[in-house]
Amino acid sequence: MIISENLWYTKTFFRKWQSVVGLEVHAQIMADTKLFSASSSSFLSSTNTNVSFHDASIPGTLPVLNKRCVEAGVITALALDCNVNMISMFDRKHYFYGDMPAGYQITQQRHPLASDGSCKFIVFTPGIHKSPYMKEVKIKQIQLEQDSGKSLHCDDRSLVDLNRAGMGLMELVFHPDLSDGEEAAALVKELCRILKRVETCSCKMEEGALRVDVNVSIHRCNEPLGIRTEIKNIGSVRAVAAAVKYEIERQIKLKNKGYDVINETRAWDAEKKITVAMRDKEEKQDYRYMPEPNLSPLFLSTGDVHQGLIDIEQLKQSLPELPAKTRERLEKTLELTADQAMILVNDDVLLTFFEDCVKKKELIPKFLAKTLIYEFSNAVNKMNIDPANFLHRIDFVADTVYLMQTRQINRDTALNLFIELLQGNTGDPLQIVTKKNLFQITDEAELELLCKELMNENKKLVDLYRGGKTKVLKAMMGILAAKTNQRADMAKCDQILKKLLNE
Amino acid sequence: MDNILSNNIRNISKLLLEGRFSTLDILDACMKRIEKTKPLNMFITISEKLAKEQSEKSSIRYKTQKPKSVMDGIPIAIKDNFCTKDVRTSCGSMMLQNFIPPYNATVCQKLIDAGAVLIGKTNLDEFAMGSGTVDSIFGATKNIWGYKDDLDDFHIPGGSSGGSAVAVATGSCFGAFGSDTGGSTRNPASYCGLVGLKPTYGLISRLGLIPLVNSMDVPGILTRTVDDCVYMLNATAGPDPKDSTCVSMPYSPIRIPPAANLSIKNVKIGIPKEYASEYLEDEVLETWNEVAALLENAGAIIKQVSMPHTELSIVCYSILNQCEVASNMARYDGVQYGFRATENSSTEQMYAKTRSLGFNSVVKHRILTGNYFLLNRNYEKYFEKALKVRRLISNDFDNVFEEVQILLTPTTLTTAPLFSDYIKKSNSEQCSQQDFCTQPANMAGIPALSIPIKLSRNGLPLSLQLMSKNFSEATLLAFGKFLEDKVKFPHYVREV
């Protein structure tokens, strides 16, 4: 009896687990040089070539703060609606590691650059969500800090590459306002869009330019938050979703079996698609934070600029339109659908085509968006080619859409024109259409003639249709399309053919 | 040629310009003097080859009557905690025993740019942690004053810049750089009868000075005369974009008129009563009183002032010092440079063995206590509290400089102790007594100058300290020159 009662108990509560997810993101600052030294921050340099004396912590060297990195931090903070602190400070965080040559990392622990921000984003993964929904996450703080080098462990030795050591990072600490992996992934995507838009981080996760740590815990409704685990250094957006999903399920299974979740750091095994405990951080570390004595406090100014200080007000004014704002403008001013706006804003190149084309011709924005999202994207997928290489051929795209909008060509022809473009055709659409005679046949007399011809050539189908099998109409339309080289105005043909068949 | 070594920088430069002798003659005389005084153990490395090259280039400049500055061709020494490109920089530690820096400290570079000739690197307590120049893996440095060849014992030179001080006092060079965190330049200046300047924090770049306490370290100057000190300061002070704690305002070189033209009429001088420590020796107290009377007779207004937080300076300093030491020493792990112990079982074991063998017990003690103070649970109790006390000490100076322009205090509580007596005390006891009068200036960042006054009854130098507001070096040095002229200290080099 007791056992089954327990089972009942468990089953009832199984559905009532709530998961809580928080993110910490390390974003490498897009800057020519490192946070505190003049060595290059290029990703592609060969091992240990971008290492200044300071990066290698040669005794007696001193940090000199890179102004660009501070500006990038402030811009990012403003884009994420944070309070930028007029005075922030740098601290040393101590721990021994081979790729951390000074024995400490310079970071901002006690007085960060910015705090209390927020970010609104859309969560929508087709196949998982039926429709998009809005989510808001609060940001605890943004701090500037140094990146570490990289270690490579071989059998009998460890090798260290200091190229990355000392590069500027922005650490963004989010409140645990998310509830699952899809939300976490959607936040990372939106964050990438924002950072790329304000040009403070390349967000190339494959290069480690953006690294995500997630905190996951579960608890029952109306109970305090559970013990959390941390998953470190997740390397892609989909891995974020998968790792969180796995971890939530793992914790639920543990709890349902009566075990406790322990506070630990785990790693995401992308091959096996599981999280595994990391061994080296079992003991709680005391980082013995201390103010960095070689840097004065970082003062910012607003409006009234003191010499040499960074002006928050000026940076605020130079901020570009942010993704959320673009979506709003596309919907409200240009009357795109919410889906269209979302798709365009998610794709920088497509958005550029859209924004540039809409200025060029008298194109209906909604029609243009639809064409870019379907025909143009279709051509891009078919050719498997980067459309960014064709941004100088805006006119071609605009002209094609215009021909279609004015019904001179149909959708198939438009698709073919885009393919021609991507194959390297340097002509203009009107020339191609004229030369290859691709104009849409819209003349009703001509279309009627064509339909009659079709009926004569396919008596069997006509009989079937008239006998009640109306679905053969589709087959007949297909033949007609092939017959005219896809040129016939199919909408009109549909009407005409139906009329003739029903006579 | 030998007596040329007792001359001052200005005269040497003039004689060089007149072609009375060449820079190589001077270098040669210095090298001979170094050889002669070798038992005092003031140099860790003698960069003879580099010095010759620099001296040869300088002599060509003099031949064409185009010296770079008054410092051109002048042999100087540098404490072995300033990085010198291609010349070993050991910090007196096994950890850096074979460390050859790939760059020059800004101080060294500026001296080279001014034409000075770097003859060698001088001895110090390991990583400048000490006040006697006794804790170096290269052995203790001996004070020239009271030194006798046939005795086992000797007087300590003070420290931690004792090597630099003895080098200047013996006439092995005309000036030297030390560093000053709690008194490390002024203390040996006092014991060796030299002018010792601790400039305002941020006036001279710290780039390349291997740090002890970053927030208090300054390069310090040791010379036989105030004028020489001014030349050394003028050659090295000023902004450095590579040191963010160095002030960015342009430096205007200091020029002090001849002593006869100086007057101290109505200058207000403060005597802070708290500096009369219970350990103050009678002869030092007497000297202090004599000089106060001398200055009053010369027209100055002498005032007793109170600086109530003075005695907290030492304990406050010991916390801040150990915390920064714990942090600054973290980079010595044997991975990229310096000593590495043979240990292959694991990286952590390699770190542990390297650090346990590479540092002396004083350094290890400070690392351990510093890390204790920085623990999350102790931070507020110790580190943060020490910062607040530091502010109070600094405020004492702000308040007192509302009333007076110059403070007159002893530099050290005694004359140079005997080595045998000194080493009976622990390092922390040594430092707390040695740094008593010098330490507060580092807390506040203000400039301080030690001036040798006279010899004690047993023939050891007695010195006093002058302090003034931030960036008032010009006033401080002019005042020092006035005093120097009045007391006419019998420099050792002149007696040789």
Task: Please tell me which residue in B13, B47, B79, B472 is annotated as part of the active site.
Answer: B79
- From the list A64, A103, A286, which residue is nearest B331 (CB)? A103
Amino acid letter, residue A329 = R
Using alpha carbons only, give the angle B321, A299, B212 rounded to the nearest 5 degrees.
15
Residue in the block written with tokens 């869009």: A193
pLDDT in tens, A396-417: 999 999 999 988 888 888 999 9
ipTM higher than threshold 0.90:
yes
A296 reaches B (C-beta below 8 A): yes
Q: Report the candidate in A146, A169, A113, A107 with the shortest Cα–Cα distance to residue A315.
A: A113
Q: What is the pLDDT of residue A2?
A: 44
Per domain, the residue ranges of chain B are 2-264+412-495
Say yes or no to pLDDT of B172 above 80.
yes
Residue A182: CB atoms within 10 Å: 19
Q: What is the pLDDT of residue A157?
A: 81
pLDDT in tens, A318-327: 999 999 999 9
Q: Given the DSSP bridges, would you call strands A310-311 and A229-234 parallel, antiparallel or unpaired? A: unpaired
Residue B103: CB atoms within 10 Å: 18
Contact assessment for residue B363 and residue B93, using Cβ atoms and an 8 Å cutoff: yes
- From the list B103, B210, B244, which residue is nearest A295 (CB)? B244
pLDDT in tens, B132-142: 999 999 999 99
Backbone φ/ψ region at A243: left (φ over 0), alpha (ψ -120 to 50), beta: alpha
Q: What is the pLDDT of residue A411?
A: 86
pLDDT in tens, A206-221: 999 999 999 999 998 8
Residue B324: CB atoms within 10 Å: 26
Task: Please tell me which residue in B55, B90, B136, B160 is annotated as part of the active site.
Answer: B160
> In DSSP terms, which residues pair with A161 in a beta bridge?
A150
Q: Token pair for residue A24?
A: 């910490």
For residue A64, give how far its alpha carbon lies from the nearest alpha carbon of chain B (Å).
6
Q: Token pair for residue A49?
A: 């070539």
Whether residue B313 lies in the annotated active site: no
* Interface residue of A39, A53, A55, A61 to substitute, partner B, most B CBs within 10 Å: A61
B463 phi, psi to nearest 5 deg: -135, 160
Whether residue B184 lies in the annotated active site: yes
- Give the Cα separation of A123 and A491 in Å (integer): 36
- Give the Cα separation of A291 and A311 in Å (integer): 24
- Give the Cα separation of A75 and A312 in Å (integer): 8
Residue A262: CB atoms within 10 Å: 10
Q: What is the pLDDT of residue A281?
A: 52
Provide the residue count of chain A. Answer: 503
pLDDT in tens, B428-445: 888 778 999 999 999 999
- From the list B245, B329, B383, which residue is nearest A294 (CB)? B245
Contacts of A220 (CB under 8 A, 6+ apart): A13, A16, A17, A18
Task: Please tell me which residue in B59, B131, B184, B432 is annotated as part of the active site.
Answer: B184
Q: What is the pLDDT of residue B2?
A: 64
Amino acid letter, residue A55 = D
Backbone φ/ψ region at B372: left (φ over 0), alpha (ψ -120 to 50), beta: alpha
CA distances from B404 to B135, B288, B290, B293, B477 (A): 39, 17, 19, 17, 16
- Give the Cα separation of A414 and A270 in Å (integer): 41
Amino acid letter, residue B298 = A
- Give the Cα separation of B121 and B43 in Å (integer): 6
* Higher pLDDT pick, A156 / A170: A170
- Give the Cα separation of B440 and B451 in Å (integer): 18
Contacts of B62 (CB under 8 A, 6+ apart): B16, B17, B19, B22, B23, B72, B73
pLDDT in tens, B268-277: 999 999 999 9
The correct answer on CATH 3.60.20.10 for the domain covering B2-264+412-495 is no
Instruction: Scan residues 17-36 of B and list those with Cβ closer than 8 Å to A.
Output: none
Contacts of A359 (CB under 8 A, 6+ apart): none
pLDDT in tens, B320-360: 999 999 999 999 999 889 999 998 888 889 999 999 999 99
Q: Report the candidate in A165, A129, A199 with the shortest Cα–Cα distance to residue A57.
A: A165
CA distances from B418 to B13, B130, B144, B411, B474 (A): 38, 15, 12, 18, 35
| From A113-117, A177-181, A499-503, B469-473, the region with the lowest mean pLDDT | A499-503
Contact assessment for residue A368 and residue A337, using Cβ atoms and an 8 Å cutoff: no
Burial class of residue A392, CB neighbours in 10 A (0-12, 13-18, 19+): exposed
Amino acid letter, residue B154 = F
Per domain, the residue ranges of chain A are 19-291, 323-435, 444-501
Q: What is the pLDDT of residue B99?
A: 97
A64 contacts in chain B (CB < 8 Å): 241-244
Amino acid letter, residue B171 = G
Q: Token pair for residue A14?
A: 């199984």
DSSP A305: P
Q: Report the candidate in B431, B462, B161 with the shortest Cα–Cα distance to residue B313.
A: B431
A303 reaches B (C-beta below 8 A): no
- Give the Cα separation of A278 and A302 in Å (integer): 45
| Mean pLDDT across chain A | 90
CA distances from A254 to A217, A269, B223 (A): 12, 19, 74
Q: Token pair for residue A215?
A: 């905190």
Cβ of A60 within 8 Å of Cβ of B210? The answer is yes
List the CATH code of the domain at A444-501.
1.10.10
DSSP B38: G
Say yes or no to pLDDT of A4 above 60.
no
Percent residues over pLDDT 70 in chain B: 99
- Grade residue B179 by pLDDT with cuts at 50, 70 and 90: very high
Secondary structure of residue B457 in the 3-state scheme? coil
Say yes or no to pLDDT of A448 above 80.
yes
Percent residues over pLDDT 90 in chain A: 59
Q: What is the pLDDT of residue A3?
A: 46
- The dihedral sign for the CA sequence B147, B148, B149, B155: negative
Backbone φ/ψ region at A24: left (φ over 0), alpha (ψ -120 to 50), beta: beta
In chain A, the residue whose alpha carbon lies closest to the alpha carbon of B351 is A96
Amino acid letter, residue A366 = K
Q: What is the pLDDT of residue A279?
A: 65
Q: Token pair for residue B227?
A: 């004028």
B97 reaches A (C-beta below 8 A): no
Residue in the block written with tokens 């409704």: A221
Q: Report the candidate in B182, B181, B233 with the shortest Cα–Cα distance to residue B209.
A: B181
Angle formed by the axes of helices A237-256 and A181-197, nearest 10°: 150
Q: Token pair for residue A407?
A: 């019904």
Q: What is the pLDDT of residue A426?
A: 87
Whether residue B160 lies in the annotated active site: yes
- Grade residue A347 by pLDDT with cuts at 50, 70 and 90: confident
For residue A100, give how far its alpha carbon lies from the nearest alpha carbon of chain B (Å).
9
- Give the Cα separation of A336 and A348 in Å (integer): 17
Amino acid letter, residue A69 = C
Say yes or no to pLDDT of A307 above 80.
no
- Give the Cα separation of A230 and A232 in Å (integer): 6
pLDDT in tens, A246-288: 999 999 999 989 899 999 899 999 889 999 988 655 567 899 9
pLDDT in tens, B111-135: 999 999 999 999 999 999 999 999 9
Q: What is the pLDDT of residue A359?
A: 87
- Give the Cα separation of B26 and B14 in Å (integer): 13
- Give the Cα separation of A131 and A273 in Å (integer): 27
| From A52-61, A373-382, B227-236, the region with the lowest mean pLDDT | A373-382
Contacts of B495 (CB under 8 A, 6+ apart): none
B177 reaches A (C-beta below 8 A): no
B433 reaches A (C-beta below 8 A): no
